Amino acid sequence: MPREALHRFEEGGRRFAVDPETCFCFECDDVSWDVLAYYPQASVQRVLHELGDRYERKELEEVLGELEWLRSTKAILPAMTPDKFAKAFQVERGVRRITVRLPKETQQVEERRRGWFGGATRALSDPARELGRDAVALLLSRSLEQRQLTFAFQTTPQALNPDLVADLCDYAIRMGRLSGKELTASLHLTDVALDGAPEALKGHDVCVQLDVSDPEALARHLRPLAGGDRFSLTRLAKAIQPDAPGVTGRVVVCPGHAGLADVVPALHEAGFRVIELDLDGAFIAHPELEPAAVMAAQRECAVYFAKCLLARRYFRLDPITALFYRIHEGKPVARIDGAGTNELAVDADGVVYPSWRLIGAPEFALGQVREGRIDEDQVRRFEDVGALTTAPCLTCWARNLCGGGCVAVHHALSGSFRRPHAAWCDAQRSWMSAAVSAFNLLSAQGVDFSPIYAQLTGKRGGGLRLSLWSMARAALQMTVSMRPLEESDAEMLVRWENWNDAGYFTFNPRGVLMATVYDREMDALHPQSLDQEMVLTRRDGAPIGLVRIGPDMQHAGLVHVSVFLRDPAHYAAEDIRKGFRLLVQEAAKQQEFRRALAYAPDREPALQAFLEAIGFERAGAMREALYLHGDRHDVGVYALTFA
């Protein structure tokens, strides 16, 4: 039997398959499970021959057709061209994140000389403030083309000076703006002492994190966290979740032992909306922990999380939510740890490290920020880590979900930051199987993931994006599919667009007041960057039309929709109407928009009938809004409101 191209596994009495490259996953019945033992290496005739005595030919052909359709949409088994292969090995340049471990705040007297012959002067210096500003300069100077940066501080509640941190946050954000960067400041408070901690948290370390994009009034929010006070869970939840614009908080638990199954329920019931289990930190601090036991406890946390989502009790639990997001969006990650390339850290003495998790390990020191010195050869050692360059990862089905793991964990468990520990890898695969299973089951129950995904993308959002999961789920229920536009579509688009007077190409509601026909045509042919444009295809991959969805910049929750079908007869096809209706509904659920507007010139009655058939209602007309062939035409406006 040939080697499987799609990984099959059983979890909780159910069968699933996942593509190691795209991370697309789906549940299998008996027929698809057996077909996947041969597909895609074996020919169709071979599959029919091998399984013909167990299943009807029609069933086998239907499964093969659905798999071929998934393949044509690139949901599974994408073709690896030489260009894509080479691009996958390119190192992403530029530091995105730097963490500073602030020293104890003191004022020191320094002697400074003025030139060669000048006398010495005595001046006060503040090492903590100066170190923070030096680290900001290091981040901005090494960020290169990166535009979205994070500047993180590490300290303890006892050493926290709210005014100093607020000042450094404000300085970092202002310097980022001047450099053309979007910078978020983050505060990590370690060793948080709890008063009357529940039994579930005993033996575990509790930390908190505040992310700040607007530093105004930050000091006021930090003061309740300063000092040596002990916090009750309720008080801590209120302190780090101030419901203030530009400030978000989370509680982070670093397990000290494998008994963490009750940690998440205890924190959730106390009112925390964002919870993180720092399993990497646990293995670094306690390398004697048994990975299988820790991951088994995390699976129990995932079960509780799934039950809450089914009950519509939404909160964010990392790393589970982040894994769900990668599956949902179709975003495989070949390298999850940016140590040395996209991340740096500075300790209290100004020593630079590849990651804050490696602070204190002298063999990983990269330089000294106060001396302006970085060893570039040491930095380059971290360019070849991750799933693509780690031997055990190359044959692991979970490589693009795990991303190669954390280099500090590998160093703690195996003694080498490039070599993962075998028991740790086994445990990772075990809990990721459970996560893939949970994601499929929750999706089948109609769980809306958008409230928790909004916390991942809300501050950095850039318009409408339809996920790979939803595109495939929508298309499985119809005879047409959709995929993003590609460079290879250029020749087809030229044939479709040239001399085509369909409203999709000649009308744009954003350009109604433009004076010339040329301006209108150019704006229609080159959509705004926030628009999502896709190709509509048959199951066999044959393109049949285009669809474009874009957010309205002035009105939240409103989107604009345009559709074009190459064959006018397709506007009346019931299967295409059904599929497009489902696509719009899925987009509304993901992106949380409440109303969609579609436009159809009166000279295109087939398009107008198509919109009405899928649920749009005529809301009015834009009089003489389309100028075409020397005449002005009315354009019908159609509206669809979502519950």
d(CA 549, CA 485): 13
CA 232 to chain CA centroid, Å, is 33
Task: Give 628 or 475, the one with higher predicted confidence.
Answer: 628
| pLDDT beyond 90 at 404 | yes
Domain borders along the chain are 7-79, 338-380, 462-641
Other C-beta atoms closer than 10 Å to the C-beta of 612 total: 14
Q: What is the pLDDT of residue 398?
A: 94
Average pLDDT over residues 279-285: 96
Contact 608, 600 (CB under 8 A): yes
Q: Strands across the sheet with 558-565, in order? A: 480-484, 532-538, 543-551, 558-565, 595-601, 631-641, 617-628
Q: What is the pLDDT of residue 463?
A: 43
Radius of gyration (C-alpha) of the chain in whole angstroms: 28
d(CA 81, CA 576): 32
Tell me the per-residue pLDDT of 353-396, one tens digit each, with 9 for 90 and over. Answer: 999 999 999 999 999 999 999 999 999 999 989 999 999 999 99
Reported pTM: 0.73
The amino acid at residue 383 is E
pLDDT bucket at 416, cuts 50 / 70 / 90: very high
Q: What is the pLDDT of residue 453?
A: 63
Any idea what DSSP says for residue 105? P
Decide yes or no: CATH 3.40.50.410 for domain 462-641. Answer: no
Q: What is the pLDDT of residue 106?
A: 58
Tell me the per-residue pLDDT of 126-154, one tens digit each, with 9 for 90 and over. Answer: 889 999 999 999 999 999 999 999 999 99
Cα atoms found within 13 Å of the Cα of residue 258, Cβ hemisphere only: 13
